[in-house]
Each structure stands twice: as structure tokens, then as C-alpha cells.
A and B are shown apart, each in its own frame.
Chain A
């Protein structure tokens, strides 16, 4: 298999050396880590996100929101899950049972598989594969067929309309999203998420990191634009307001998931929240420096911190940045009105695609003109009288 699993294997052998754990084969570890990722990260996030979203919505509308189950209603998501599991398992009579069953699974698999390549911390990547960004893009494409097939299998006009809208929207917005990732790949010369994050540290005093620059969003004027395009495109790809045409309540009842009930609806909802998280984490990784702290490096701190604490702080910063973006997504939901279909497509093809193409050319020219230095490095060398050598 590709060399990328080597790091994982190496770390494992170091940890398990001399214990009975060393006899456990690698694939069993992979299976266990996959289960841990899904059950410890993806599912609880999806559950808690519903609670947070309802609380934020309540705050913005001056209501109280869920407050019955547990303190501040914090266990509401568990109650919801139990309710969904215990509901009747219903397939519409004219519908297609096979497709109806596999469609929500495709959505959940597509969104949860993205977790594998997310860099939660410096050494906390389940698989730091060398096609990391491409991998995340590839697995999240499974969501679109899931939505489309579910909408067809429901045997319902509104569902089908929602599914067709969703497919057109996701296929179209995939293009600006992919094009907006390219400036970062141009800058870092790698698709590997660990490498991309590592290059975004900034410490001018440290000669080892002379090539590292600050967060990619501040690398040059074009990446600032690309960051916003990536975020907007990500909103559209995850079917969030203002791009939630596939499930527009006022037009299509509930869109592609109209006929879904019980745990199948739960899987759709979960898949959507996990997808939002993966999208925000991807934006954080590419543009906001991942687990890097602004302006300091913990391993070069004036007091030596235990490595476990450093890892925890890194995870905290990554999660903080990502959840901030998730909060913005939820905030937008109660702020912006929904677009029309023609406005949606117009925005993508006439607005975002040309601008992101322009960004790629602009970033390439910047890399050539300033020898790959970031905006901050260029300004710094200007103010220090141009003494910094190229």
C-alpha cells in the first residue's frame, strides 16, 4: 500500500512495542480507528450540532430553545436519537425499497469518510495520505448520488425535484470549490494535509521555518478571495441556507427527504451536519492554518510543555477555528434569504468560476514575482529596508 500508512504503522509499533498489543495486525487497528472516528467524533458531533443549531436559532429569534432534557436541554439530541430509532420503519408503497435503503447510507459514508484525512493535530491524522485533499473531495462526492437516489426512490414529485436541484447544485459548485483549493496547492506544492498545515506556521526568528509563512488566507490578495469562494461554495455543496434549494420548505415540502422518516431521516440529517463539519475543517486546514497557533510555536515556547499538552492545545485550536466556521454557517441560516434557482446557477457559473480561475492565475503570478513569499514576508522585507535576501 502507499507509503502514507507507514507513519501510522511506525507510530503504532513504537507505542505497542513489547506489549501484547504488538501482535494485533495493522488492519485491525485501521478498523478500530475507523470505528473510533465514526462513533467518537462524527456521530456525537452530528448530534450535538443539532442541539447547538437549535440553541443558536432560539437565541437569534429571542426564544429559549430546547430546555427540558438535562441541564439547558443539552441531552436533547439523545432524546431525538431515541425517538428516531424507535419510529416506524416506513418505505413509501410505490417507492424503490433497495435504493431507499442504500441512499442515506451513501450520504453518511461519504461525509464520515472525510474525517480520515482531517488533521486534528500535528500528529493526530488518522491517515495523512499524500493525496489528502483529493481524497476528501473524492469521498464527499458520494453524497450527491445518495441524495439523488433517495429522492428518486421516494416516488414523490417534490422529492425528485429537490434531488434534481441538489445534483445540479453540487455538480456545479464542485468546480469553484476545487478551483479555490488550487491556490493553496500552488503555494504549498502538496496535496498532503499535514504538509499544508505545517507550512502555515510563522516564526520569523526561527531559521528552520524561513520558508513557512502565515495562514494561507493572508498569503496574497488572491487567496483572500479564494478563501471566501471556498466557503461560499462549501455552503452550496452542503445544501445550507442560503443555498438550501434542495429542501426549500416553502416550495418543495421538505425536498429530497420528504418521504424519509425515523432513522433514515436521522442519517440524512446527521450526514448533513457531518458534511458541514468536514467542509469547515477543510477550509480551516487549507486557509486558516489548521492546528497552528497564531504567532507562536508551542515546541519553541519559553517553557517546555509536555508533548501531550501541546497535542491537546493543537486539537483545541483546530476545533476552535472549525467550530467558529460552523457557527458562521448556522448564523447565516437565520440571516440570509434563500436564492432562486437561476440566481444560484448564475452566481456559480458567471461569478464564482471566473473569479476563482482569476485567483489561480493571480496566485501563480504572485508566486513567480515574489519568489513564493507571502504578503507579510514581502511587507516585512520592505519595511526592513529590503535587507532580507531572497
Chain B
């Protein structure tokens, strides 16, 4: 991979982290949602560089086209125009939040270093070949072959979620 490509990946990672930071700490919920969109885009680019081209497309279609729109829609429906109450970080939880979130760091560090010892290094040429191969067909075959059971379970889950969401949001009779 050329240095230019690596630079693009680095920028995508920085955008992801920076946007996630704004999502977490910006008191304005609408800005959080907007920067969540940029975080999703950054993650999609990271997927692309990890050889997951199909997943990157799915990530954008589902998250940017679906989830973000739904979230923005819900924000705009519930925080109606002239009753703006967008500031919403509960002050009494900030200290415990920081402590708990930072308390995770040693655990994550320990776990990841242990994992790092277990990984046997994949040969770089195999990795490059995997990253360059198109995935759509392979994923399709896997979904209807070896992974057909989770696939069917997901379809039932999606149907249930669809019906449940419609039932929950129905107008009050």
C-alpha cells in the first residue's frame, strides 16, 4: 500500500476518533448526531482499507441512510422548534462517567496485549491478497451456505423489529 493510501486511512481514523469525541461530549444533541454521521463515514473508510468493500457500502447505506436519518428525525420531532432543550449532559453523572470510562483503559490494554501475543502473524502477501479480493460473492455464498442459520435468524429479527416498531409508534386510539 502506498504512503498516500496510508495517509487517507490515517485521516479516516482521525476523523472517526474526533467525531466520536464530539458525539460523546458535545452538549448539543443535534451536533452529536451530525458528528455521529461523520464517525460512521470514517468507520466505512476503515472497513474499505481492511478489505471489506461490501461491508463499507452496507455501513453507509444502513447507518448514514437509515440510522442517522431516523435519529435526526426523532430529535427534530421531540425537540420542537421553539422549545429547544438541546443541552442535555447530566452534570451529576460526568465524574462517574469519566471514572468508569477511563477505568476501562487498563482492562482494554491488558486484554489487547494478551490477544496480541496469541495472534500468529499472517503473512503479508496473504493479507494483501485477502484485502484485494472482492467480497460480495463470497459473502453471499457464505450467507446462504455455511452461515444460513444466523442469516435466517436475522431475517426473523428484522421482521419482528419492523412489526414491533410500527406497533409501538402507532397513533394512540
Contacts and interface: CB of A to CB of B under 8 A. Distances in A.
Interface in A129-187: 129-131, 134-135, 137-139, 141-142, 144-145, 148-149, 152, 155, 157, 160, 163-164, 167-168, 170-171, 174, 178
B60 A2 contact: no
B64 interface: yes
A141 B64 contact: yes
B81 A157 contact: yes
Contacts of A189: 137
A130 B53 contact: yes
What is the size category of the interface that chain A forms with chain B?
35 or more
A233 B65 CA distance: 16
A208 interface: no
Interface in B111-161: 131-134, 136-137
B129 to A, nearest CB: 10
A2 to B, nearest CB: 5
Interface stretch (B1-9, B12-20, B88-96, B98-106): B1-9
B133 A27 contact: no
A145 B37 contact: yes
Contact of A167 (B60, B73, B134): B73
A149 B33 CA distance: 10
B77 to A, nearest CB: 7
B61 A160 contact: no
A26 interface: yes
Contacts of A139: 60
A191 interface: yes
A105 to B, nearest CB: 13
A312 B94 CA distance: 63
A142 B64 contact: yes
A189 B37 CA distance: 31
Contacts of B27: none
A97 to B, nearest CB: 12
A349 to B, nearest CB: 10
Contact of A134 (B57, B81, B132): B57
A282 B30 CA distance: 33
By secondary structure, the B interface counts as helix
A174 B65 contact: yes
Nearest to B49: A1
A96 B54 CA distance: 35
By secondary structure, the A interface counts as helix
B133 A149 contact: no
B136 A164 contact: no
Contact of A131 (B2, B53, B131): B53
A145 B69 contact: yes
A138 B57 contact: yes
A4 B66 CA distance: 27
Given A26-B2, A27-B4, A138-B65, A131 B57 contact: yes
Interface residues of B, number: 36
Interface in B19-51: 30-31, 34, 37, 44, 48-49, 51
A157 B83 CA distance: 13
Interface in A2-26: 2-4, 25-26
A20 B48 CA distance: 32
B132 A3 contact: yes
B70 interface: yes
Contacts of B68: 145
Contacts of B137: 189
Nearest to A163: B76
A91 interface: no
Contacts of A144: 65, 69
Given A141-B65, A145-B64, A2 B57 contact: no
B65 A3 contact: no
Nearest to B7: A27
Contact of B70 (A3, A98, A129, A171): A171
Given A25-B2, A148-B69, 18 more contacts: A2-B132, A4-B134, A134-B54, A135-B57, A137-B61, A137-B65, A138-B64, A141-B60, A141-B64, A141-B65, A144-B65, A145-B34, A163-B76, A167-B69, A167-B72, A171-B70, A174-B66, A191-B136
Interface of B: 1-2, 4-5, 30-31, 34, 37, 44, 48-49, 51, 53-54, 56-58, 60-61, 64-66, 68-70, 72-73, 76-77, 81, 131-134, 136-137
Interface of A: 1-4, 25-27, 96, 98-99, 129-131, 134-135, 137-139, 141-142, 144-145, 148-149, 152, 155, 157, 160, 163-164, 167-168, 170-171, 174, 178, 189, 191
24 contacts: A2-B132, A27-B5, A99-B34, A129-B53, A130-B134, A131-B53, A134-B61, A135-B57, A137-B57, A137-B65, A138-B44, A138-B60, A139-B60, A141-B60, A144-B65, A144-B69, A148-B69, A148-B72, A149-B34, A149-B72, A152-B30, A163-B76, A164-B76, A167-B72
